[in-house]
Amino acid sequence: MEERNNLYPIFLKTKELEVLLVGGGYVAEEKLQFLLKSSPDANVTMVAPFFREETVEVAKKGKVKMVIDSYSNAYLKKKHLVIATTDVPEVNMQVYKDCRDQNKLVNVADNPPYCDFYMGGIVTKGNVKVAISTNGKSPTTAKRLRQFFEEVIPEDINQLVQNLNSYRKTIKGNFEHKVETLNKLTESLVK
């Protein structure tokens, strides 16, 4: 039987959530950059004994609180999503175990068995966002697919979305009728 990706994709309102990022090195910077690129209004707390200068510069672009300290499970309080990026496997495993104990979603960078979620490739054009996952198997493939979709999705797709949203509000009838009407109107997009 062929393998398949059984992950359930969701889009999180990170402005309304609290994210903890454990680590201050290159991987932390990469994860933070990815998060802020997709969700510039994300609420992020970073905890690490040190932060690279470049990581600090990235953090200044968002709502990021930086705490110079070693990780302890006290930092999990009121956090919804946790990303562990340290170069100390024992610290990352402790973060994972603490998150399991407290039912928090966790991603241990570059360690798929210890991830409740993956940070895949994302293409954003206005209100349109496409997320790409390779089930944690090939971030490079997700990156290449992201580059492909950035090229093929037209820049004016946001105008189409806004026009359809305005039109949707004028359609009379129940939900089923609205869906049917919009399906007929947009079927030419896939032909």
Kindly report the average pLDDT of the chain as a whole number: 91
- What pLDDT is recorded for position 139? 81
Q: What is the pLDDT of residues 82-118, one digit of tens each?
A: 999 999 999 999 999 999 999 999 999 989 899 999 8
How would residue 191 be classed by pLDDT, with cut points 50, 70 and 90? low
136 versus 68: which is more confidently predicted?
68
SS in 3 state form for the chain? CCCCCCCCCCCCCHHHCEEEEECCCHHHHHHHHHHHHHCCCCEEEEEECCCCHHHHHHHCCCEEEEEECCCCHHHHCCCCEEEECCCCHHHHHHHHHHHHHCCCEEEECCCHHHECCCCCEEEEECCEEEEECCCCCCHHHHHHHHHHHHHHCCCCHHHHHHHHHHHHHHCCCCHHHHHHHHHHHHHHHHC
pLDDT at 74 over 90: yes
pLDDT at 185 over 80: no
- What pLDDT is recorded for position 158? 83
Average pLDDT of the residues in 146-166: 86
- What pLDDT is recorded for position 26? 95
- What pLDDT is recorded for position 176? 84
How would residue 137 be classed by pLDDT, with cut points 50, 70 and 90? confident
- What pLDDT is recorded for position 155? 86
- What pLDDT is recorded for position 98? 98
